């Protein structure tokens, strides 16, 4: 007899979901049965850890635009899922989390572990999702599934949780096709593309006409809206510099003469320099967070600003923009372009070329270093030479993100780089690669992690191997939590071992771990070993790991690099927790 798991699987498939990532429990077994009966329309990918389910769904959603779907069982399944949901929530990624629950008539036993694994899941999930729905009956399930997709894809995209009690999952369903009706308007984000009012558009266009040094800061909203062609066309029409957040990397091809790279304390030098020189900053689908604002120093009090965001609550959150635009990036950029005549700004274009050339020469010098242990810049430059169009690159958090941003160009516009910047948590890359591989079957997926981040999810290499994924997993192994190691040296007077990941005689081999989990494993500790190791990994039929021994004092953070070059003297930080006062962004003079 069909059951609610069948109905839910039918509704998922009807909304365009072709894969679900998760870990089963007794409460959710009916879902697995329903998915199995509908193969190959929809399939399930078993992961080793519920954190992976969330990260995999996040990566799948970023690359397809469709909500990524993950499932967990009640209790510990839900608490482990939290990392992925917070990442997606802060990064505006549509995800649908299917959460098991104790039977409805166990309400008195649900909290504080009286019923095994039970706790207040709705309260817990409410902090990291846009909406939580608890399914009270089989009859209510279709409407709540449609609502979940609508909430996930409408307005600012975000995760939604659907909590399904055990007895509802197991309830008999008559198999009626009338129940399993999907709403095709909410199968991908953005479900709608609003455009700002005409007066606001004209105000923004006037600022763009008058600016002598315009710069566009492109965020993840450009990718979410698939606004690559519209952004490139607008920038080319007015000779605007384009820099990006980590999440926005690839909004334009970074080989373009107008591209300045990633704007971040871990990003590109020329992006930092040129954004500070711009007389107009146009924040496009970018939430102006701590890092993209360079620790709240941008925009400067003298810089005019335009801020465009699908979420009206982002407008004016950290400063008051000269012009605020509430709308979809693609639709709004199209409307703006129609109001602007082409205007050349040769002085600004020359300034961009100068800054790119000078910073690029410094990067090239680092990229040819013959040092042992290896410099990460050399490693990433070698990696860049082996990437091909269509490859997807997934960054872990911390220093790996900066090395990737600085030394690997996005060769074409489009979303092919994924960053864990919603929460910035270690352990994203290897799990996200699973979602990326299923989002773009047949493509190679490359991950870049430090040994700290890689350690979080090394067990998921078994999942890579089980499914024969074409992944190359690069480990920048410095034997420690590198960011904290340098922080302790600069700010806490001494070299400690509290963040070392090795001890005398105990040196983990990630290449050996990879081999033990069914992957190919390669190592490199010197420049003459690096090329062969990477070539072997890229030639592998299935997943591979390259464990590269790196300089423990190498960092992409510009401020740390300067301090270390000066001797890295101990100096306790001053008050680094506050921000400058909220201020009004001016208009342009004259």
Domain extent listing, the chain: 4-186, 198-355, 368-565
How would you class 568 by CB atoms within 10 Å of its CB: exposed for 0-12, middle for 13-18, buried for 19 or more?
middle
DSSP 8-35: HHHHHHHTT--EEEE---GGGHHHHHHH
pLDDT by residue for the chain (590 residues), tens digit each?
Answer: 899 999 999 999 999 999 999 999 989 999 999 999 999 999 999 999 999 999 999 999 999 999 999 999 999 999 999 999 999 999 999 999 999 999 887 666 666 665 567 778 999 999 999 999 999 999 999 999 999 999 999 999 999 999 999 999 999 999 887 889 999 999 999 999 999 999 999 999 999 999 999 999 999 999 999 999 999 999 999 999 999 999 999 999 999 999 999 999 999 999 999 999 999 999 999 999 999 999 999 999 999 999 999 999 999 999 999 999 999 999 999 999 999 999 999 999 999 999 999 999 999 999 999 999 999 999 999 999 999 989 999 999 999 999 999 999 999 999 999 999 888 899 999 999 999 999 999 999 999 999 999 999 999 999 999 999 999 999 999 999 888 888 888 888 766 668 998 888 889 999 999 999 999 999 999 999 999 999 999 999 999 999 999 999 999 999 889 888 887 665 555 544 445 667 788 888 76
How buried is residue 90: exposed, middle or buried, by Cβ count under 10 Å (0-12/13-18/19+)? middle
Q: What is the CA radius of gyration of the chain?
A: 24
β-sheet bridge partners, residue 307: 283, 324
For 198-355, CATH number? 3.40.50.1220
* pTM for this model (two decimals): 0.96
DSSP-H helix ranges across 211-280: 220-225, 228-238, 269-277
Tokens read off for 309: 């965001």
Question: 3-state DSSP call for residue 434?
Answer: helix
The domains spanning 198-355 and 368-565 adopt the same CATH topology: yes
In angstroms, the CA 407 to CA 526 distance is 19
Q: What is the pLDDT of residue 366?
A: 93
Backbone angles phi, psi at 268, to 5 degrees: -95, 140
CATH number of 368-565: 3.40.50.970
* Cis ω for the linkage preceding 40 (within 30 of 0): yes
Name the fold adopted by 4-186: Rossmann fold (3.40.50)
From residue 541, give the alpha-carbon distance in Å to each of 256, 434, 464, 536: 34, 16, 12, 10
Q: Residue 509: exposed, middle, or buried by beta-carbon count in 10 A (0-12, 13-18, 19+)?
A: middle
286 class by beta-carbon count within 10 Å (0-12 exposed, 13-18 middle, 19+ buried): buried
Q: From CA 18, how far away is CA 438, in angstroms rounded?
A: 9
* CA torsion, ordered 545, 550, 552, 558, to nearest 10 deg: -100
**HSE of 421 in the Cβ direction (CA atoms, 13 Å)?**
30
**How far, in Å, CA of 167 to CA of 105, rounded?**
9
């Amino acid at each position: 007899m069909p059951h609610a798991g069948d109905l839910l699987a039918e509704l998922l498939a009807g909304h365009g979901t072709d894969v679900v990532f998760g870990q089963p429990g007794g409460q959710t077994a009916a879902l697995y049965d329903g998915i199995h009966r509908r193969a190959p329309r929809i399939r399930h990918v078993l992961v080793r850890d519920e954190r992976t389910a969330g990260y995999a769904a996040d990566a799948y959603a970023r690359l397809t635009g469709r909500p990524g779907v993950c499932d967990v069982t009640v209790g510990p399944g839900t608490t482990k899922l939290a990392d992925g949901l917070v990442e997606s929530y802060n990064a505006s990624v549509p995800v649908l989390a299917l959460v098991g629950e104790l039977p409805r008539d166990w309400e008195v036993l649900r909290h504080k572990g009286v019923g095994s694994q039970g706790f207040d899941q709705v309260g817990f999930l409410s902090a990291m999702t846009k909406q939580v729905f608890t399914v009270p009956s089989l009859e209510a399930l279709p409407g709540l599934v449609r609502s979940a997709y609508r909430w996930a894809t409408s307005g600012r995209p975000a995760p939604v949780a659907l909590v399904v009690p055990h007895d509802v999952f197991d309830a008999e369903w008559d198999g009626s096709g009338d129940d399993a009706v999907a709403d095709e308007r909410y199968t991908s984000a953005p479900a709608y593309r609003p455009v700002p009012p005409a007066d606001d558009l004209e105000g923004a266009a006037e600022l763009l006409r008058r600016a002598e040094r315009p710069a566009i800061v492109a965020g993840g909203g450009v990718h979410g809206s698939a606004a690559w062609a519209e952004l490139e066309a607008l920038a080319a029409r007015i000779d605007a510099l384009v820099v990006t957040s980590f999440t926005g990397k690839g909004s334009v091809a970074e080989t373009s003469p107008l591209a300045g790279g990633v704007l971040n304390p871990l990003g590109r030098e020329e992006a930092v320099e040129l954004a500070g020189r711009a007389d107009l900053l146009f924040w496009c689908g970018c939430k102006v967070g701590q890092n993209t604002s360079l620790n709240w120093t941008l925009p400067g009090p003298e810089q005019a600003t335009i801020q465009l965001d699908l979420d009206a609550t982002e407008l004016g959150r950290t400063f008051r923009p000269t012009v605020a635009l509430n709308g979809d990036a693609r639709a709004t950029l199209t409307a703006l372009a129609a109001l602007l005549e082409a205007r050349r700004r040769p002085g600004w274009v020359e300034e961009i070329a100068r800054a790119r050339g000078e910073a690029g020469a410094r990067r090239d010098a680092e990229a040819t270093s013959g040092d042992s242990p290896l410099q990460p810049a050399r490693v990433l430059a070698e990696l860049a030479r082996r990437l091909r169009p269509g490859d997807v690159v997934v960054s872990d958090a911390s220093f790996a993100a900066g090395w990737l941003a600085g030394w690997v160009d996005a060769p074409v516009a489009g979303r092919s780089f994924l960053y864990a910047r919603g929460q910035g948590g270690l352990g994203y890359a290897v799990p996200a690669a699973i979602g990326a591989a299923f989002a773009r079957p047949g493509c190679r997926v490359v991950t870049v992690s430090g040994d700290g981040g890689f350690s979080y999810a090394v067990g998921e290499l078994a999942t890579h191997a089980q499914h024969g994924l074409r992944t190359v997993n690069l480990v920048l192994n410095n034997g420690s939590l590198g960011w904290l190691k340098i922080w302790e040296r600069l700010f806490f007077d001494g070299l400690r071992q509290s963040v070392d990941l090795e001890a005398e005689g105990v040196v983990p081999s990630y290449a050996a771990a990879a081999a033990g989990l069914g992957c190919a494993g390669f190592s490199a500790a010197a420049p003459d070993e690096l090329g062969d190791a990477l070539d072997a990994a890229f030639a592998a039929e299935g997943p591979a790991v390259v464990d590269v021994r790196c300089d423990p004092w190498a960092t992409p953070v510009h401020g740390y690099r300067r301090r270390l070059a000066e001797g890295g003297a101990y100096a306790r930080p001053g008050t680094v927790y506050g921000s400058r006062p909220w201020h009004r962004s001016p208009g342009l003079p004259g």
